[in-house]
């Protein structure tokens, strides 16, 4: 019976293991040095904030693994011998594999700043980072966060709940500028400031200063501004965590290089999730994808190939989501930070509340290309259908109510949105009634007969 | 703002101290007049006056000594009557007697100034609770579960255990030794007289405490979820049903000499519906009595299945029910303590359905006895069955465990493991309903907030992370899973039955490569 070994117990590795189990009787081992069991990395922040405990962020009960005959090994992999098909583990053990899946995830970027290894300077990615943070906040009244992305805003919220004064340095002129369009980033920035975070744009970290115990005491920005702090959060992106393959003959660039089948050129070695880099992405996306959902999809895909049904990684319409303090964000399809030439952007923003809906469509074909939504939940299947089938923007506007996923009784903003659309494009589109309002629908029909 | 919250907390603590202290302020002097006022018939009065002649007109400073003397004498005479088989003379209403005798014998600041003491205890406490709750959850509206797992009272810390112990003791005193808390009822006499025309019983006291708990903690809940209309409307609904249907209306009915019952309480949660004294009471009250009986039976037979078909069991459990109302308001801070394990689910399915069966069997036995006049069913005394049901289910399970254990087992232990009506509603919801919690495509990140804050212990993320809708008999539709979800993945809704139990999607929504593979495999089958 062949032995599938997976390095990394994150969402990609665990999803692969589950699907190999579904489709085969192969022996499966997941190796991780981080924690004994799979936990949801995206939920680490909630453990810090006291919303949950470690037990709560484990997606499967501990008995699940035995029941599904998936072995868990807690160790760090030190070397991969691809000729002998054998792993060298910390503590001196070795483990042979027939198929190897590398799913080692990411690590926080460091850019060689002076003082970046001082005590109190850290990224936020792993369980160990969370433990370190708990240690570091004990002596923290002021913190500086460097890098305006998703992990940065999470860290800001986390520290804020412990009453720590947070300065958030962002290199760009807006929040998450390499992803969000200006107006969207502005909305988030305002919200972050409203929550008591000192958000500073167009500012870069220069030097991190320490005391003679090697603890951080301040930073200086490139403009020469000195800010006292006892904690520096480095959240300027992540890169593939591929130290484990360094000494092996597995080719890498920024990540472990793979083809469309998530295979490396070394026989029986695959890479998935954050650590994988495509020679060329099967659907012309970026060659490295570092989100939860793509890790999950790659895990599902590679399991098919390993179980004898070679399957290309072919993700459909892009989607992602996040939460910035109290604003929920969802995106479907492509909404570029700077619109492309052929794109028309319709954006509706609530005059007072932190609610924004952005629809991007093709100027000539009028087909929907992307959706950004802040403060309104939308249905994944409806948006996916619209974008994959190329729905006309008028149809989208007319059926906006059907895409709403807000809880019942929430205020519906669709009438306002449709009115704004009609005004901007001089159209007379009528919003279709929601499916769920049957009694109201019936009443309307009777009254309009 | 923070100061107002602190002041509120201090006021609440002062009110609470006065409330507990009030139980230790009186002396007790029994008179023959009081005995004849409290006894339920003339003969009993004479017996009591005789056996209690050594107690009468003496002043006791200890409530314990006073009540044990009375109990002792009653026990002694009962034993005598039993040995003589003089059943009609046996004093069965011992608990009530003791309660009223103690309450009316009390002499001290409480009975001299009941209104002042009402203000010092209930008044100050309620004011404090309102103040602290209205100024809780400050800051930007949104989910704020910060620090819950570090909290000593919310997460089974010392304060949580003490609170649980206090509630358990309270329930034990209320159900079996109400005379120990008689002073509390004494303070409520004027309110009770005003509403129903009767002095306050321990049940009026309980109803009052229950209602103010729902109202004051409802304010807290609304404050916490002020960004969420579903939560606010639902909470206003339980506050309304508790205040009107459960508390005020029965008192008004009593004042009008009509059967004084909570008209939203549904059989078999309302397990005494078919007891002969209740049936007799309905039948003795003409059209209104008949109507009330008809109403109660129709709610059970027609209301439950029809409304649950359209809206799920939530229409009752988290919008109308009193137990649910208390759980959702006073119990909200403990919702994360419910056990999410597979074993807990297995136990739940057995225990809740077993209670349903017990309730139905007990009621059938009672109805049989009522119709035939024969209390003996296959050699079992139907009185004994209902006595055991009342003790085990009605008091121990629903009261002591259900509410007393809030800070230890979470706020829905009764609703999840014991409520026979929830079992019935759950069967309808599971097999014939339009209600489901929809999972939004592939957006779940398995963070676990939904499961953690599910008061019914449903492992919501188990379904959500595989793109499956949640259709579970136990779901009370509180909507908190949807509220705490950081990615907008869950929505409570009613819709067509076909799309409800969506088949397990296996692959992440949007993973077109493997989805195509699955379709290919399907066509080749």
What's the rounded Cα separation, in Å, for the pair A132 and A122? 8
Closest CA to B9 of B140, B180, B166, B124: B124
Task: Decide which of A236, A253, A284 is a domain's last residue.
Answer: A236
Residue A113 inside a domain? The answer is no
pLDDT of residue B87: 87
Of B403, B410, B409, B425, which is closest to residue B353 (Cα–Cα)? B425
Q: Which of A40, A304, A436 sits opposite B495 (nearest CB)?
A: A436
Q: Tell whether A441 and A323 lie within a shared domain.
A: yes
For residue B443, the chain A residues in CB contact (below 8 A) are: 293, 319, 321, 330, 380
Write down the pLDDT at residue A437.
Answer: 54
Q: Does the residue A116 lie in any domain?
A: no
Instruction: Determine whether the interchain pair B511/A59 forms a contact, defined as Cβ–Cβ distance below 8 Å.
Output: no
Residues on chain B touching A58 (C-beta within 8 angstroms): 448
Chain A nearest CA to B449, separation (Å): 7
- Least CB-CB distance to B517: which of A63, A293, A311? A311
CA distance B460 to chain A (A): 10
Same domain, residue pair A255 and A363: no
Distance of CA A412 to the CA centre of its chain: 28
Same domain, A37 and A129: no
- Same domain as A170, residue A85: no
Residue of A nearest to B507 (CA): A300
In angstroms, the separation between the Cα of residue B318 and the nearest Cα of chain A is 14
Q: What is the pTM of this model?
A: 0.95
ipTM for the predicted complex comes to: 0.94
A43/B447 touch (CB, cutoff 8 Å), yes or no: yes
Distances (CA, A) of B33 to B57, B58, B67, B201: 11, 14, 17, 19
CB contact under 8 A, A407 and B486: no
pLDDT digits 0-9 by tens, A321-358: 999 999 999 999 999 999 999 999 999 999 999 999 99
pLDDT of residue A444: 53
Residue B310 — φ and ψ, nearest 5°? Answer: -80, -35
**Could you list the residue range(s) of the whole structural domain that residue A64 is in?**
3-107+239-306
Q: Do A289 and A430 belong together in one domain?
A: no
Residues A28 and A138 in one domain: no
H-state helical runs in A372-425: 380-389, 393-398, 400-403, 414-425
Same structural domain, A383 and A399: yes
Q: Phi/psi class of residue A89: alpha, beta or left (left: φ > 0; alpha: ψ in -120 to 50)?
A: beta
Q: Which residue has the tokens 């483990």?
A: A95
Note whether A332 and A295 are same-domain residues.
no
Specify the pLDDT at position B503: 67
Chain B's closest residue to A411, CA to CA, is B229
| Shared-domain flag, residues A141 and A211 | yes
At A354, which CATH number? 3.30.390.30
Per residue in A177-230, pLDDT (tens digit) is 999 999 999 999 999 999 999 999 999 999 999 999 999 999 999 999 999 999
Q: How many CB atoms lie within 10 A of CB A66?
A: 10
Of A296, A321, A436, the CB nearest to B508: A296
- A314 in a structural domain: no
b/e burial code for range B117-133 (CB count within 10 A of at least 16 → b)? bbbbbbbbbbbbbbbbb
Q: Are A278 and A314 in contact (CB under 8 A)?
A: no
CA–CA dist B327, B419 (Å, integer): 13
pLDDT at residue number A149:
87
User: What is the average pLDDT score of chain B?
Assistant: 94
* Domain annotation covers residue A366: yes
Cα–Cα distance for residue pair B388/B352, rounded to 1 Å: 17
For residue A353, report the phi and psi dihedrals to the nearest 5 degrees: -85, 165
Helix (H, G, I), strand (E, B), or coil: what is residue A123? coil
Query: Given an 8 Å threshold on Cβ–Cβ distance, is A56 in contact with B440?
Result: no
Q: What is the pLDDT of residue A433?
A: 72
Residue A353 lies in a domain: yes
Residues 6 or more apart from A77 whose CB is under 8 A from it?
A7, A31, A33, A87, A88, A89, A90, A244
**Chain A nearest C-alpha distance from B81 (Å):** 60
Look at residues A306, A340, A355 and tell me which one is the last residue of a structural domain: A306
CATH number of the domain bearing residue A198: 3.50.50.60
Using a CB-CB distance cutoff of 8 angstroms, which residues of chain B are in contact with residue A408? 230, 479, 491-493
Q: CB distance A313–B139 less than 8 Å?
A: no
Helix (H, G, I), strand (E, B) or coil at A132: helix
Residues A17 and A87 in one domain: yes
pLDDT, tens digit (0-9, with 9 covering 90-100), for B129-174: 999 999 999 989 999 999 999 999 999 999 999 999 999 999 999 9
Number of domains in chain A: 3
Boundary (domain end) residue, out of A258, A274, A306:
A306
Residues lower than pLDDT 70 in chain B: 503-505, 521-525
Question: Does A114 reside within a domain?
Answer: no
Q: What angle do CA A333, A336, A340 make, to 5 degrees?
A: 105
Give the pLDDT score at A434: 62
Determine whether the interchain pair B513/A297 forms a contact, defined as Cβ–Cβ distance below 8 Å: yes
Q: What is the pLDDT of residue A436?
A: 53
Does A437 lie in the same domain as A323?
yes
Q: How does pLDDT run across A34-88, given as a tens digit for each residue?
A: 999 999 999 999 999 999 999 999 999 999 999 999 999 999 999 999 999 999 9
Residues A284 and A348 in one domain: no
Of A63, A309, A408, which is closest to B517 when you measure between CB atoms?
A309
Chain A to chain B Cβ contacts (< 8 Å): 174
Q: Is A319 helix (H, G, I), strand (E, B) or coil?
A: strand
**pLDDT, tens digit (0-9, with 9 covering 90-100), for A395-449:** 999 999 999 999 999 999 999 999 999 999 999 999 997 655 555 555 555 655 5
Spatial separation of the C-alpha atoms in residues B156 and B149, rounded to whole Å: 9
What residues of B are in contact with residue A407 (Cβ under 8 Å)? 228-230, 479, 482-483, 491-492
Mutate to test the interface with A, among B147, B156, B486 (most CBs of A within 10 A): B486
Contact call for A379 and B230, based on CB within 8 A? no
Residue A371 lies in a domain: yes
Residue A367 in any domain: the answer is yes
């Amino acid at each position: 019976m062949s032995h599938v070994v997976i390095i990394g117990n994150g969402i990609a590795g665990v999803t692969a293991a589950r699907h190999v189990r579904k489709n085969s009787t192969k022996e499966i081992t997941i190796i991780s040095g981080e924690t004994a069991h799979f936990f949801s990395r995206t939920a680490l922040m909630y453990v810090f904030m006291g919303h949950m405990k470690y037990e709560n962020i484990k997606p499967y009960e501990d008995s699940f693994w035995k029941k599904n005959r998936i072995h868990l090994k807690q160790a760090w992999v030190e070397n991969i011998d691809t000729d002998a098909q054998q792993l060298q583990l910390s503590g001196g053990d070795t483990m042979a594999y027939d198929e190897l899946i590398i799913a080692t995830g990411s690590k926080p970027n460091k850019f060689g700043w002076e003082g970046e290894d001082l005590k109190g300077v850290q990224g936020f990615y792993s369980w160990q980072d969370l433990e370190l943070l708990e240690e570091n906040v004990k002596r923290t009244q002021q913190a500086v966060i460097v890098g305006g992305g998703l992990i940065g805003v999470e860290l800001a919220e986390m520290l804020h709940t412990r009453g720590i004064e947070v300065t958030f340095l962002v290199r760009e002129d807006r929040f998450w500028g390499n992803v969000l369009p200006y107006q969207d980033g502005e909305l988030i920035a305002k919200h972050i400031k409203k929550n008591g975070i000192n958000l500073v744009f167009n500012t870069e970290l220069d030097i991190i200063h320490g005391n003679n115990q090697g603890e951080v005491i301040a930073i200086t920005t490139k403009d020469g501004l000195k800010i006292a702090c006892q904690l520096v959060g480095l959240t300027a992106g992540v890169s593939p965590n591929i130290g484990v393959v360094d000494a092996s003959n597995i080719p890498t660039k920024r990540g472990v290089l793979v083809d469309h089948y998530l295979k490396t050129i070394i026989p029986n070695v695959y890479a998935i999730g954050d650590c994988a880099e495509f020679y060329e992405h099967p659907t012309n996306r970026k060659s490295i994808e570092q989100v939860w959902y793509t890790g999950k999809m790659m895990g599902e895909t590679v399991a098919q190939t390993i179980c004898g049904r070679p399957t290309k990684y072919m993700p459909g319409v892009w989607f992602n989501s996040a939460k910035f303090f109290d604003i929920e964000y969802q995106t479907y399809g492509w909404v570029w930070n700077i619109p492309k030439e052929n794109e028309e952007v319709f954006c509706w923003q609530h005059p007072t509340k932190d609610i924004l809906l952005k629809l991007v469509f093709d100027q000539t074909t009028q087909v929907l290309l992307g959706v950004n939504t802040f403060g309104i939940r939308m249905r994944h299947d409806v948006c996916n259908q619209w974008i994959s089938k190329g729905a006309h923007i008028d149809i989208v506007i007319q059926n906006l109510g059907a895409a709403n996923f807000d809880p019942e009784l929430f205020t519906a903003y669709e009438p306002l949105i449709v009115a704004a659309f009609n005004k901007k494009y001089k159209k007379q589109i009528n919003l279709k009634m929601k499916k769920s309002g049957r009694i109201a629908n019936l009443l309307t029909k009777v009254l309009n007969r | 703002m923070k100061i107002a919250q602190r002041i509120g907390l201090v006021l609440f603590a002062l009110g609470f101290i006065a409330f507990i202290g009030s139980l230790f302020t009186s002396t007790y002097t029994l008179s023959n007049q009081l005995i004849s006022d409290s006894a339920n018939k003339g003969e009993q009065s004479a017996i009591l006056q005789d056996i209690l002649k050594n107690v009468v007109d003496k002043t006791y400073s200890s409530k314990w000594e006073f009540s044990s003397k009375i109990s002792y004498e009653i026990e002694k005479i009962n034993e005598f009557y039993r040995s003589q088989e003089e059943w009609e003379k046996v004093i069965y209403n011992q608990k009530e007697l003791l309660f009223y005798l103690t309450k009316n014998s009390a002499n001290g600041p409480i009975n001299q100034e009941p209104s002042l003491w009402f203000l010092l205890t209930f008044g100050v406490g309620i004011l404090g609770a309102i103040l602290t709750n209205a100024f809780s959850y400050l800051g930007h509206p949104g989910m704020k579960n910060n620090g819950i797992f570090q909290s000593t009272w919310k997460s089974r810390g010392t304060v949580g255990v003490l609170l649980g112990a206090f509630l358990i003791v309270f329930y034990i005193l209320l159900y079996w030794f109400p005379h120990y808390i008689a002073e509390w009822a004494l303070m409520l006499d004027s309110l009770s007289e005003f509403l129903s025309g009767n002095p306050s019983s321990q049940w009026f006291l309980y109803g009052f405490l229950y209602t103010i708990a729902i109202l004051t903690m409802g304010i807290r809940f609304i404050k916490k979820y002020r960004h969420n209309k579903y939560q606010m409307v639902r909470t206003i609904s339980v506050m309304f049903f508790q205040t009107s249907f459960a508390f005020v209306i029965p008192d008004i009915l009593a004042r009008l000499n009509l059967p004084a019952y909570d008209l939203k309480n549904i059989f078999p949660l309302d397990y005494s519906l078919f007891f002969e004294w209740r049936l007799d009471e309905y039948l003795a009250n003409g059209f209104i009595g008949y109507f009330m009986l008809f109403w109660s039976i129709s709610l059970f037979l027609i209301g439950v299945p029809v409304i649950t078909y359209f809206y799920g069991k939530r229409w009752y459990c988290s919008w109308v029910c009193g137990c649910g109302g208390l759980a959702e308001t006073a119990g909200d801070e403990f919702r994360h303590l419910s056990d999410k394990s597979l074993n807990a689910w297995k136990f739940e399915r057995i225990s809740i359905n077993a209670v349903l069966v017990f309730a139905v069997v007990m009621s059938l036995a009672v109805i049989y006895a009522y119709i035939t006049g024969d209390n003996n069913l296959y050699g079992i005394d139907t009185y004994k069955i209902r006595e055991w049901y009342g003790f085990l289910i009605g008091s121990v399970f629903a009261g002591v465990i259900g509410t007393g254990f809030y800070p230890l087992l979470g706020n829905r232990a009764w609703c999840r493991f014991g409520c026979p009506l929830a079992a019935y509603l759950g069967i309808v919801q599971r097999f014939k309903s339009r209600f489901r919690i929809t999972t939004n495509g592939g957006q779940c990140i398995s963070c676990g907030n939904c499961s953690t804050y599910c008061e019914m212990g449903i492992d919501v993320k188990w379904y959500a992370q595989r793109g499956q809708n949640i259709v579970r008999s136990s779901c009370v539709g509180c909507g908190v899973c949807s509220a705490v979800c950081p990615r907008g993945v869950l929505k409570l809704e009613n819709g067509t039955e076909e799309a409800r139990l969506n088949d397990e999607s296996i692959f992440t929504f949007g993973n077109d490569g493997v989805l195509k593979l699955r379709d290919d495999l399907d066509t080749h089958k």
